[in-house]
Amino acid sequence: MRSINFRDKKVTIMGLGLNDGGVGAARFFAKAGARVLVTDLKNRRHLAPSIQKLSAYKNISYVLGKHRIQDFQHANLVIQGPGVPSDSPYLAIAHKHRVPIDTDIGIFFRLCPAPIIGVTGSKGKSTTASLIQCMLATAYPNVLLAGNIGRSVFDILPRLTKNIPVVLELSSWQLEGLAAHTQAPHIAVITNILYEHLNRYKSFADYARAKSFIARFQKKQDILIMPHGDRVVRNAMKGAPSRIIAYAVPKIPHHEGNARLFGAHNAANIAAAVSVARLFRIPTAKIKKALRTFPGNPGRMEPIRLASGVRYYNDTTATMPDATIAAIKTLAPARKHALLLIAGGTDKNLRFADLANVINREISVLILLPGTATKQLLRSLPPKPRPTIIKARTMRVAVAQAHARARKGDIVLLSPGAASFGLFQNEFDRGAQFNNAVKKL
């Protein structure tokens, strides 16, 4: 593994969070002998789970609930967390004082000895990345998966070798960090580009541009895998120097009977993953076995329980309307009677008209969690909507309301179509609260 000397360097990590990215970065630099300062606008109580994971390191200090100018003026390096906007005034202070700014992904790419497979997309990137790992594991048992999937890239770095590929799920924010160093994965996979994160980006064009960074700085010998016939993706990827492989989505999905892979959206995820597996010459029989045994990802159309004849599904990672539409279309044909939906949350400047139409057509009971997206969704529904609409202030109440109205053969689906800010720590906390409430029924 390549190395960079960080001993005794003053490293400011901007953004700790709860999803292991900040924890992984702090741990990496602490182990490297740096003097680490973690700063986050959230307070110690909110960040307690992450701070606890770092309790063994005496060379980590914290400034929480605020940022301080001096921590950006006098650092040797600033690590920008994925949730930190590039126009932050504190990053501007670092720039002014000529302090280098980097990201965990940017440093990882410089140190990683392994061939890198990067996966991005507005929807489906976690499932696709996990499927790729599952398929490649049939030939490379030690293949690892990290990135925007709850596992820090720094945690896997010591285990990587030049002969075994690594799979990374990459968010648009992480791709911005790569673009700053004109870096890109050897194999880039993009699933789609949909309206998402418009609370972070000034326009859809800006968001699509960020997604395009996965291939913009590839080399001629690199490979870009993208969906055939997707004009948005094609336009975003114009000018990519790499070889392009376009995958088609089969009309009859080959999910090998795995219920976690039902639905048209998963047919696309499978097609993308198979394209990568073919590059590594994974036999068809092993691909099919990987599909049969694929365990799925938590919070992504995850079956939680069958209670009193009612099936409960956790799709908490549906943080955009298009993802909820896909979930409804997957489950609607499978229900024997009614489909009850728990939705709503915080708006990300997205459009809810299409979701409102699908809800009005397919949902019998709509249970809404509080938030700005909920207000948007209600405004998008017709004056006399078909579903019964119930408002719930907590997840426990939402599940109780669904349980009271569901009958044998019905399906209860948590698929919010919105962000989790405010009511929950993050979407995984939202999903955990749903799971706990369902298991107590």
Helical (H) or strand (E) element with 397: helix 395-405
User: Is 15 a known ligand-binding residue?
Assistant: no
User: Is 86 a known ligand-binding residue?
Assistant: no
| 146 phi/psi in degrees, rounded to 5 | -155, -175
Tokens 């799920």 sit at which residue?
Answer: 169
According to DSSP, the residues that pair with 167 across neighbouring strands are: 117, 145
Instruction: Name 271's Cβ contacts closer than 8 Å, sequence gap at least 6.
Output: 227, 247, 248, 249, 250
How many residues appear in the chain? 441
Q: Strand 388-391 vs strand 411-414: parallel, antiparallel, or unpaired?
A: unpaired
User: Is 123 a known ligand-binding residue?
Assistant: yes
DSSP state of 339: E
| Furthest C-alpha separation in the chain | 65
Gap between the terminal Cα atoms of the chain: 50
CB 76 within 8 A of CB 10: yes
Q: Which SS3 state, helix, strand or coil, does residue 179 take?
A: helix
User: Is 127 a known ligand-binding residue?
Assistant: yes
DSSP state of 157: G
Q: Which SS3 state, helix, strand or coil, does residue 284 take?
A: helix
User: Is 121 a known ligand-binding residue?
Assistant: yes
Sheet holding 411-414, edge to edge: 302-307, 310-314, 411-414, 339-343, 365-368, 388-391
Q: Which SS3 state, helix, strand or coil, does residue 212 take?
A: helix
| 58 phi/psi in degrees, rounded to 5 | -85, -10
Sheet holding 35-40, edge to edge: 60-64, 35-40, 10-14, 77-80, 101-102
| Residue 257 amino acid letter | G
Q: Strand 302-307 vs strand 310-314: parallel, antiparallel, or unpaired?
A: antiparallel
Which of left, alpha, beta for 299 (phi over 0: left; psi -120 to 50: alpha)?
A: left
Q: Strand 60-64 vs strand 77-80: parallel, antiparallel, or unpaired?
A: unpaired
Known binding residues = 121-127
Known binding residues for ATP = 121-127
